[in-house]
Amino acid sequence: MYAVIQTGGKQYRVTVGTTLKVEQLPAQPGSTITLDRVLLVGSGEMVRIGTPTVPGVSIRATVLSHGRHPKVRIFKMRRRKHYMKRQGHRQNYTEIRIDAIEG
User: What is the structure's pLDDT at 69?
Assistant: 97
Among 54, 56, 24, which residue's Cα sits nearest to residue 39? 54
User: What is the structure's pLDDT at 103?
Assistant: 82
User: What is the structure's pLDDT at 75?
Assistant: 98
User: What is the structure's pLDDT at 15?
Assistant: 96
Q: Distance (Å, rounded) from C-alpha 45 to C-alpha 48?
A: 10
The whole-model pTM stands at 0.85
Give the single-character DSSP code of 25: -
**Residue 89: its H or E element:** strand 83-89
Average pLDDT by consecutive 10-residue portion of the chain (103 residues)?
95 96 96 96 93 94 97 98 98 97 90
Q: Is 61 within 8 Å of 96 (Cβ atoms)?
A: yes
